[in-house]
Structure 1
């Protein structure tokens, strides 16, 4: 059962979803992508830790199971609703204004792409509109980024460590924030649908 931990002020659209994952993340992301309906209107930005020299086929894998398109964005690309944007290997995925930045800036905690960097840029750009999600993985990337999301008014979701293939990343996130929702993976898709649709109804 989704466990809300904090109450947010009503009225904010929740239409920017940022997700971080590492070890075990491909399986988790495929399960999530499969659960999202074709009319899911929020863009989703994904950082998965991958080897810097290996090509990533994650967009193709996601597209094969999802009703939503998935791709590596180009630097400066305009954000479109209902797209799964995946950070390319060895590049940070950042948000600025209504565009996506794909850069080779300095590594953070030895990572490029960095979950923290994506979350922080989303929080600074979109504030309360952001939904930040930390999934399975090693080490602690994403914890501070989720803190930024929370500090600037966004919603925070952490995969239940007991449900995660690798619990370290969710566990570290829980040491930094009290998330709005602590959920098993199977509940994440329906939760994102509910949160983004609720925001949509508020705007109409």
Structure 2
């Protein structure tokens, strides 16, 4: 006997542009596993309507002449928390998003969808639908101030300063990276390499947004560029990033697990070329990218950390890193900057085979 199919995932739309709203309706209605249960052109009575409809996912775009996008996202996440994705309403696919979108990610939105839809090819549209399916299953938490759990590391000895730090993040990553980097001083002594899964075209505004608030140098990673203290290097679109002998190494090798740049590539490179002189950190995101590479880092003697579940936007990559033993420590996001500065994390032996 064939088991019954699961009910379709319920989607709400808050899209002020009529063309964009129509394009999304056409796309979503063609997918039998998605159902649009609420469509809105303005955020009037948004919270009440969301409470009644109880969607699995909210797709939202900037709403001119009403509440800023950031405010709308923050209200939803504090009152009726649910997965939120932002639909880019730029006129061209290669137009950069505005600062409101970056701030909305910081407020709790999970990711940004490419757009406009009518400019996307079939492969891009299929990938967008897969993203919507993935995001609709994310378990989100109400955004409110709370005390993070104690880290239990007060008696730990100071570790030696690493030569390099690698950080990986996916959905929810921009806000998490922002929270870490704004706490680091301008004389932070260690270069940081970052793999952040992005919709193509959002790297430049992301770097601009980080640079405005942080005291570190933020830039796209370039091949053979020397690694310098107090700098953060973000992997470029469509390239893997690694490091060797104090210089950045980019690669256009095939995607790993569907990702290029890949966190596994970054961490494996650090394990091979730096061993115990590197630290690896996995932040919020879906799936397992980075887990195998982080395991290689731990086996090489490196310090490995995963973001703690509390306050983690998408507890997928961190959970996989901890359950596999690739991450030796779990730290709340609010504690990470302090421990990066104080280097007070206990030494943990590599996992046994």
From 176, 183, 191, the equivalent of 1:43 is 191
- Once the two structures are superposed, residues 63-98 of structure 1 have per-residue CA deviations (whole angstroms, 9 ceiling, x without a partner) of 111110100021111111110000011111111222
Q: Which has the higher contact order (CA 8 A, sep 6+)?
A: 1
TM-score (normalised: structure 2) = 0.52
Q: Which has the larger radius of gyration?
A: 2
- The corresponding residue for 1:70 is 218
Unaligned 5+ residue runs, structure 1? 197-204
- The corresponding residue for 1:120 is 268
Whether 2:221 is the aligned partner of 1:54: answer no
Unaligned 5+ residue runs, structure 2? 1-149, 345-353
For the 8 Å contact 1:2–1:181, the answer to whether it is kept is no
1:3 offset after TM fit, Å? Answer: 4.7
1:54 offset after TM fit, Å? Answer: 2.0
For the 8 Å contact 2:305–2:329, the answer to whether it is kept is yes
- Aligned pair count reads 192
- The corresponding residue for 1:175 is 323
TM-score (normalised: structure 1) = 0.88
- Once the two structures are superposed, residues 2-60 of structure 1 have per-residue CA deviations (whole angstroms, 9 ceiling, x without a partner) of 256xx99x875423110000000000011111111112110011000013x42412221
Looking at structure 2, the residues matched to 178 and 106 of structure 1 have their Cα atoms a distance apart, in angstroms, of: 24
- Once the two structures are superposed, residues 84-130 of structure 1 have per-residue CA deviations (whole angstroms, 9 ceiling, x without a partner) of 00001111111122210122111000000000100110111111111
- Root-mean-square deviation (CA, aligned residues, Å) is 1.9
From 153, 162, 174, the equivalent of 1:26 is 174
Alignment of 1:143-158 (within 5 A): 143-158=291-306
Helix, strand or coil: the match of 1:137? coil
From 296, 312, 315, the equivalent of 1:164 is 312
After the TM superposition, which of the residue ranges 176-185 and 106-115 deviates more from structure 2? 176-185
For the 8 Å contact 2:167–2:195, the answer to whether it is kept is yes
Helix, strand or coil: the match of 1:170? helix
For the 8 Å contact 2:164–2:279, the answer to whether it is kept is yes
Looking at structure 2, the residues matched to 2 and 177 of structure 1 have their Cα atoms a distance apart, in angstroms, of: 18
Helix, strand or coil: the match of 1:88? coil
From 128, 140, 151, the equivalent of 1:2 is 151
- Deviating above 6 A after TM superposition, structure 1's stretches of 4 or more consecutive aligned residues are none
- The corresponding residue for 2:56 is none
